[in-house]
Amino acid sequence: MSLRHFLSLNDLTSDELRGLIDRAIELKAMRRERRLYEPLKNRTLAMIFTKSSTRTRVSFEAGMAQLGGHALYLEPGSMQLGRGEPIEDTARVVSRMVDGVMIRTAGHDFVEKFAEYSKVPVINALTDKFHPCQLLADIQTWQERRGSIQGRTVAWIGDGNNVCHSWMNAARLFDFTLNIATPKGYEPDPDVVDLNRQHIMLSHDPKAAAVDADIVVTDTWASMGQEDEKAERQQAFAGFIVDDGLMSLADKDAMFMHCLPAYRGSEVAASVIDGRQSVVWEEGENRLHAQKALLEFLIK
Ligand code: CP
Ligand code: NVA
C-alpha cells in the first residue's frame, strides 16, 4: 500500500472507514478473549504531544504494546523542535527511524507539514481543527449497540470546535444528519460547513437541534488553548447545557456522548453524563480498539 496519512477523516474513503469500525469491533472481542495478536512486532510509533492528554496517550501507547510494538512519548520541550529545529527536518529524521508518527498539537498546518516530509504514516491525534481518532471511537460505540449509523440524526450542542468539525466530516462520510446548535459567534469553520453542507443543519437553538435525535453530543466550552476565554465562554454558552430537559426532547433511547474530559455543571449535567443514556466510558475505551484498527491499517 502506498503511504497513507490520517490527518482528518477525509483521508479515508467511506468504505475504508466502515472497514476500520468493523475491525475495531473484532479487535475488541479478541482482546476480551485475551488472544495474542502482534502484527506490529518490532514496529515503533513516535508520539509527539504539545498538549495535554489522558485517553489519547494511554490508548495509543497501550494499543502499540498490545499489537506487539512500541510507542515513544515525545514532548517538544525535550526535543530540538522546542529549540527551533524546523518541522521539515524533524519529520525527515524521525520518520527514517520509526514506522508511524502520532501528533497532538494546536496548528493543523503542523501535522500537514510533518506529513509532507514524512516517510511513514502520520496520525492526527487532535489539532485545533480536527480530532478524527475520536470519531472512530464514537461511531464504533454507536455501531456496536445499534448497528449502522446511516440515516440517523445526531445533535451537536455547544462549541463549533475541532470535535464538532470531525462530527461534520463523519456525517458526510457515514451518511447521517448532524444538527448543530452553537451560540452566536461560535459556529464551525466555513470551509468545513461548505464541505459537509448536505449533511448538516446549523442553528443557535439547542432545543430544536435535540428533537428526536438518536445521539446528543457535546464537548467542553473552552478547549485546550482557550483557557483565557473561560469566563467569557461560560456566559456565551449559558442555555447550552445538556441536561435532563434537553435529553427529554431527543429519542427516548438516545445516547449521550462526550469525548471527555467533561465539566459537570457546565456543558453537561451530572445526571446526564452519569445517567442511563450516557455511553462516555465505552467511547473512552473504544479509543483503544479503534486506534488499534487504524494502526493496523496504516502500518502493518
Ligand atoms: N478525548 C480525548 O482526546 O481525551 P484526551 O485529551 O484525554 O486524550
Ligand atoms: N475540544 C477539546 C477536545 C479535548 C479532547 C479540546 O480541544 O481541548
pTM: 0.98
Q: Where are the domains of the chain?
A: 9-131+286-299, 134-283
Distance 34 CA to ligand 2 centre (A): 32
Grid cell for residue 32: 476480551
Pick the closest to residue 138 from 91, 178, 187, 181 (CA basis). 178
pLDDT of 189-216, one tens digit each?
A: 999 999 999 999 999 999 999 999 999 9
For residues 31-41, give the mean pLDDT: 98
Bridge pairing between strands 122-124 and 100-104 = parallel
Residues having CB closer than 6 A to ligand 2 are 126, 161-163, 219-220, 223-224, 259
167: CA distance to ligand 1 center in Å?
16
Looking at residues 286-292, what average pLDDT do you find? Answer: 99
Fold entry, domain 9-131+286-299:
Rossmann fold (3.40.50)
Q: Is the pLDDT of residue 126 over 90?
A: yes
| Residue 204 appears among annotated catalytic residues | no
Residue 73 bridge partners (DSSP): 47
Stretch 213-227: mean pLDDT, rounded? 98
The CATH topology of domain 134-283 is: Rossmann fold (3.40.50)
The secondary element (H helix, E strand) that includes residue 195 is: helix 190-196
Rounded distance, CA 137 to CA 159, Å?
Answer: 20
34 flagged as catalytic = no
Ligand showing the shortest atom-to-Cα distance for residue 259:
1
Instruction: Return the bridge partners of 154, or none.
Output: 178, 215
DSSP conformation letters of 238-279: TT--B-HHHHTTS-TTPEEEE-S---BTTTB-HHHHTSTTB-
Say whether 133 is catalytic: no
Same fold, 9-131+286-299 and 134-283: yes
Q: Which ligand is nearest to the CA of 127?
A: 2
- 53 alpha carbon – ligand 2 mean position (Å): 9
